[in-house]
Amino acid sequence: MHERERCGGVLAHPTSLWGPHGVGALGPEAHAFVDRMRAAGLRRWQVLPLGPAGHGHSPYAALSVFAGSPWLVSLAPLFEAGWLAPGDLDAEPDWPEGRVDFAQVEAWKGRALRAAHERFAREASDADRGALAAFCHDARDWLDDYALFMSLKQEAGGAAWTDWHRPLARREPEALAAARARLAGEVDLHRFVQFVFERQWQALRAHAHRTGVRLIGDLPLFAAHDSADVWAHPELFHLDEEGQARVVAGVPPDYFSATGQLWGNPVYRWSAHRATGYAWWLARLARALGQVDFVRLDHFRGLCAAWHVRATEPTAQHGRWVRGPGAAFLRAVRERFGSLPLIAEDLGTITEDVYALRDRFDLPGMRVLQFGFSDEDPKSALHAPHNHVRNAVAYTGTHDNDTAASWLLGLDREHDPRTEEERGRERARVLAYAGAHTDDPAHWVLLRLLFGSVADIAVAPVQDLLGLGPEARMNRPGTVGPQNWSWRLTDRDAARLCSDEVTAPLREAVGRYGRA
Residues labelled catalytic: 298, 345, 400
Strands of 214-220's sheet, edge to edge? Answer: 342-344, 294-298, 214-220, 44-46, 7-11, 457-461, 392-395, 365-368
Query: Helices marked H in 4-125 — which ranges?
Result: 28-39, 76-80, 102-123
CB 136 within 8 A of CB 189: no
Q: Give the number of other CB atoms < 10 A from CB of residue 319.
A: 21
Of 460, 276, 432, the closest CA to residue 367 belongs to 460
Nearest to 227 by CA among 243, 216, 242: 243
Helix or strand run (H / E) with residue 464: helix 462-466
Which residues, 6 or more positions from 123, have their beta carbon under 8 angstroms from its beta carbon?
82, 83
Task: Please name which of 133, 21, 34 lies closest in space to residue 77, comparing C-alpha atoms.
Answer: 21
Residue 320 is classified by DSSP as E
Alpha helices in 248-364 (DSSP H): 270-275, 279-289, 327-337, 352-360
309 and 324 in contact (C-beta within 8 Å)?
Answer: no
Q: Which residues neighbour 465 within 8 Å (Cβ) at sequence distance 6 or greater?
A: 10, 40, 443, 447, 497, 502, 506
For residue 95, the 8-state DSSP code is P
| Angle, CA of 188, 25 and 282, to the nearest 5° | 65
- Cα separation of 178 and 175, whole Å? 5
State how far Cα 221 lies from the chain centre: 11
What is the dihedral sign for C-alpha 438, 440, 443, 447? negative
User: Looking at the DSSP assignment, which residues form a beta bridge with residue 461?
Assistant: 11
**CB-side exposure of 323: number of CA atoms within 13 Å?**
8
Please, is 364 exposed, middle or buried when counting C-beta atoms within 10 Å of its C-beta (0-12, 13-18, 19+)?
buried
Minimal CA–CA distance to 148: which of 108, 106, 185?
185
